[in-house]
């Protein structure tokens, strides 16, 4: 039986199955990256809802696991050397799980790094820019009279979509015929941009050809469908 008692977060979110990977998350575009990944690879895990409405992410217990106060975060009781491994940042978690299981990350060194570069592209570009569109178009930022911030982020989001569009020409997935963590990293953000944020027309999504088809293929995967709703919101 694994012992997670050394982790303060286990006091607030007790593990019923401490031998399984522990996921602390919320079904946001960043959160679902890891839940989709776990569903795809079939690694047993236990999920804990981090409720932003209750400021769970600001509690000392959660900050002990992720000092940045963001989801998702994990504890793998069977980390390197058989020791528990706490980990935060969705991109790092995707790469760790891929390497741990030998799944969804090419073994060829060149293709491995090419895949990782697209994950970094999502982390550094798609996530921040699409998120700003959401803030200035749907949330509190829409009340700001100066529309230049929204225009800036919309233009950059369109550019990033065009980068994906060009990459997908002649390809089924970001890495050709290989479905990888690069695709998983992007699904939730593209889906959110045109769905929850309501920015489909704003970013001229329907003018694209390859990105909509890629998103449809991804969302049709059973593991993706399951992962998008994990953990369940209250």
Q: What is the per-residue DSSP string for 47-64?
A: EEE--GGGTGGGSHHHHH
3-class secondary-structure state, position 76 = strand
CA angle (143, 148, 149) in 5-degree steps: 70
- Pairing status of strand 45-49 against strand 73-76: unpaired
- Helix (H) / strand (E) element for 85: namely strand 85-88
pLDDT score recorded for residue 3: 86
Instruction: Give me the mean pLDDT over the 220-227 stretch.
Output: 98
Q: What is the pLDDT of residues 180-205, one digit of tens each?
A: 999 999 999 999 999 999 999 999 99
Mean pLDDT (the chain, rounded) = 97
Tokens representing 50 are 């981090």
Secondary structure in 3-state letters for 97-139? HHHHHCCCCCCCHHHHHHHHHHHHHHHHHHHHHHHHHHHHHCC
Q: Is the pLDDT of residue 95 over 60?
A: yes
pLDDT score recorded for residue 199: 98
pTM > 0.95: yes or no: yes
90 closest CA partner among 192, 216, 181: 181
């Amino acid at each position: 039986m694994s012992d997670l008692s050394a982790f303060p977060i286990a006091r607030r979110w007790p593990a019923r199955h401490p031998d399984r990977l522990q996921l602390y998350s919320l079904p946001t575009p960043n959160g679902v990256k890891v839940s989709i990944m776990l569903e795809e690879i079939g690694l047993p895990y236990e999920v804990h809802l981090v409720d932003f409405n209750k400021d769970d992410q600001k509690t000392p217990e959660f900050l002990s696991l992720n000092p940045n106060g963001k989801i998702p975060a994990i504890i793998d009781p069977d980390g390197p050397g058989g020791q528990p491994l706490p980990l935060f940042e969705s991109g790092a978690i995707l790469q760790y799980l891929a390497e741990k299981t030998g799944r969804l990350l090419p073994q060829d060194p060149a293709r491995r790094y090419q895949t990782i570069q697209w994950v970094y592209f999502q982390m550094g570009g798609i996530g921040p820019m699409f998120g700003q569109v959401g803030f200035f178009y749907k949330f509190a930022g829409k009340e700001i009279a100066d529309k230049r911030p929204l225009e800036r982020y919309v233009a950059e989001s369109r550019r990033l979509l065009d980068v994906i569009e060009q990459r997908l020409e002649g390809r089924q997935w970001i890495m050709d015929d290989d479905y990888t963590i690069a695709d998983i990293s992007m699904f939730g953000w593209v889906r959110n941009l045109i769905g929850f944020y309501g920015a489909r027309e704003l970013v001229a999504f329907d003018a694209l050809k390859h990105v909509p088809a890629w998103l449809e293929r991804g969302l049709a995967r059973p593991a993706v469908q399951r992962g998008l709703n994990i953990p369940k919101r209250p």
